Amino acid sequence: MRLKTLLKSAGIKAVKAAAGACAAIALALALGLQYPTAAGIITLLSLQETKRETLITAGRRIPIFLAATAIAFFSFQLLGYTVAALGVYLLAFVTLCHTFSAAADIAMCSVLVTHYWVERSMALGLIGNELLLLVIGAGIGILLNLFLPVGLHAIRKAQGEIDSAICRVLDQIADAIQGHTVSHLPKFSELERLLEQARAQANRAADNALTLDLNYYREYIDMRTNQFLVLQRIQIGLLRLNGAPSQAEQIAVFLRRISSTFGESNNAAALLDDANKIRAEFRASELPRTREEFEDRAALLHIFNELEHFLLLKSTFAQSLTPEQRARYWNES
């Protein structure tokens, strides 16, 4: 299924690139420009993964091209239209591009500059020809990428998968507390993969939604990532737990309650109230009588403290939301 999706995506990108390049060449031909195929190449080089990247790339190419033209003018004036002059131009221009983190523009601008070299001229008409090729190629690239989907459905799906994976981990922790065996330790590989994938999707969506504020999704993934780190620390506490203190069953039940009520719009307020009651019962319970009981109680307390931190992360996130965000993402009026 994943291979099929990748092939479909690659096919769409190929069709878009081919259609855009052909359209750019056709427009350059219709305008009677020299070297019309260069417009198609520039279109291909202008297609980026997101709308934001496409606009940034296109926006910087005109000043970079003008800088390339200026360097070429001085090189050709000093040394003529020779290989040596072209070498001097490349030395200066490549250095400039690397200095200003514009290495991706070296090939495109240099192809346009070689037209001056081939024509042995830098007449204003030829410079205008090259500038139009650049505008056509970059312009069609921008138009094509305006139709890139934001991908909100994929992000919402990823959120659901992450929440389900965290619920499974919480249940595994409860099993480990009740079973006191390494075989019940939670598995984090799937959750880690889902978080990385969701972060990439959220960043891509934000860069494709130029007029929408999608920071909510990034902040949500950050919150879940921080909770993931807490769960990893809880696992360390599990490794130190050798016995079954009297509070173990209570903590396991609390973990399953968190898992059963887990969700995007749960602000964790009720769960934090339950945690306060459990902490009060902890303090009121009898002191451990042996060293082993003391160590197990300490390990369990460590797990409980981390679990409370886990809930506080969600509570803090919920409190940081604006009324507009709650209405939009949590369907709260």
Report the range out of 15-29, 243-257, 291-305 with the highest average pLDDT.
Answer: 15-29
**Structure confidence by residue, pLDDT tens digits, 76-120:** 999 999 999 999 999 999 999 999 888 888 988 999 999 999 999
Query: Which residue's structure tokens are 């200003």?
Result: 100
Least confident of 16-25, 120-129, 172-181, 247-256: 172-181
Cβ–Cβ under 8 Å, residues 225 and 195? yes
Q: Is the pLDDT of residue 301 over 50?
A: yes
Global pTM reads 0.65
For residues 213 and 230, give the distance between their C-alpha atoms in angstroms, rounded to a whole number: 28
The stretch 261-279 carries a mean pLDDT of 89
Q: What is the pLDDT of residue 200?
A: 84
Q: Is the pLDDT of residue 213 over 70?
A: no
Q: What is the pLDDT of residue 227?
A: 95
Q: Measure the CA dihedral 28/29/31/34, to 10°.
A: 80
**What is the per-residue burial (b if ≥16 Cβ within 10 Å, else e) of 81-91?**
beeebbebbbe
DSSP 286: P
Q: Which of 51, 56, 323, 46 is nearest to 211 (CA)?
A: 51
Q: What is the pLDDT of residue 1?
A: 46
Q: What is the pLDDT of residue 331?
A: 78
Q: Which of 147, 141, 144 is nearest to 46 (CA)?
A: 141
